[in-house]
Amino acid sequence: MIDWRDRTRKDEIHVRMVDPHNLDIDRGELEHLILSGCSISYGYETDTRVSAKLETEGSNYISGSWLRIIHKSGDYENELGTFVVVDEPSWDYQDGMKIYSYELQSVLWTLSKDLVLGHFAIGSGAYALDAFDRACNTCGRTFVHKNPRNYRYSASKVYEACDSYLSDLFDICGTSNNRLDVDGHGRVTISPYIVPSEIEPSWDVVDTDPRTLLLSSGISGSSNAHEVPSRAIVVYTDGDTEIIAAADRTSESPLSSAQRGYTIAEKYQVSDLSPATAAGAQALAKSNLERSSVTTELNASFLYFPCHPGETMNLTINGDKKKYLIKTIDPVSFTDPMTIKTTLKEV
């Protein structure tokens, strides 16, 4: 088993050219990588989930190929991502060398560019997974089910003509409480959405560990406490009827106007309210206020280890152990030793 804390570990990065119509067909290796010019960025909340950049000295790239980045270390091998090359590689001369640059996007990016011909319809009584499969098959994308939840539509659903396949798939996954993603092999995936606070940590990192993964020179924190409202206002209108209600934080809350000395108010304009009464508007205002919470984020750098956005980790700094969602990994640096920069969200 590979020791990710070993700072003398030797890593290899390989890039394979693959057939976009059959992701299992290998067309050969992309040669002469310039590792200092290569990186991968992952984002939990980014629509396309992952992107990358590559540089090579010269180019043996086979036009039309997709590129798969593979990490090897000893017997370990992992597909970091399979990407579409956006346009043909650009190039310039640097110190007498012809350097090629490749801008890479995930398969989800291709779905954002592909529009559904006509309307995409899901009939009453149909299942979300069947609709998901049909959309992927129609646009020619390979897909994988990862034990997703199924959902049966109680009423028919018709998407607008010329929606992107990506927007329709996001809606199908949202309706069925699943998550849309892409795996390292380049396949669209659907898996159950899990609230981050309920995800079991995959990693446990302690800053005082002599062999810690944490790079102490790369830590900073931030909070949105200064933006979180102290008052929520609901405005409901229906013809000539208008109802306005507000909810405030208690004076003991550090987010309250009593503590801040000023009010941060957020307005919610609604056209659907049940019950359509002052009490109903008051309840909605209170609910909206409670959902507005403080988010604490940490920017931290680590030795590379195979983590993914959406996983959680326990991180102990100065004896304070907290659980974080891995929100972004930006970028994965391929130079020795391999490192990652992350945005971690406390959950």
pTM of the complete model: 0.86
- Supply the pLDDT for residue 214: 95
Beta 312-317 vs 201-206: how paired, if at all?
Answer: parallel
CA angle 121, 183, 327 (to 5 degrees): 95
Q: Which residue pairs from 131-140 have beta carbons closer than 8 angstroms and sit at least 24 positions apart in sequence?
A: 131/172, 132/169, 132/172, 132/173, 132/176, 132/190, 135/165, 135/168, 135/169, 135/172, 136/169, 136/188, 138/165, 139/111, 139/114, 139/165, 140/21
- Supply the pLDDT for residue 330: 87
Residue 146 to residues 32, 120, 122, 168, 193, Cα–Cα distance (Å): 36, 24, 22, 19, 11
Q: Which residues contact 22 (CB under 8 A, 6 or more apart)?
A: none
Q: Where are the domains of the chain?
A: 12-110, 111-192, 231-291
For the chain, 347 residues long, give each residue's pLDDT as a single digit of tens. 899 999 888 999 999 999 999 999 999 999 999 999 999 999 999 999 999 999 999 999 999 999 999 999 999 999 999 999 998 899 899 888 899 999 999 999 999 999 999 999 999 999 999 999 999 999 999 999 999 999 999 999 999 999 999 999 999 999 999 999 999 999 999 999 999 999 999 999 999 999 999 997 778 988 888 899 999 999 999 888 999 999 999 999 999 999 999 999 999 999 889 899 999 999 999 999 988 888 899 999 999 999 999 999 999 999 999 999 999 998 898 988 899 999 999 99
CATH architecture of 111-192: 3-Layer(bab) Sandwich (3.55)
- Supply the pLDDT for residue 282: 94
Name the H helices within the chain: 107-113, 128-138, 165-175, 257-260, 278-291
Closest CA to 48 of 24, 82, 87, 89: 82
Contact call for residues 163 and 193 (beta carbons, < 8 A): no
Q: Which residues contact 144 (CB under 8 A, 6 or more apart)?
A: 183, 187, 188, 189, 190
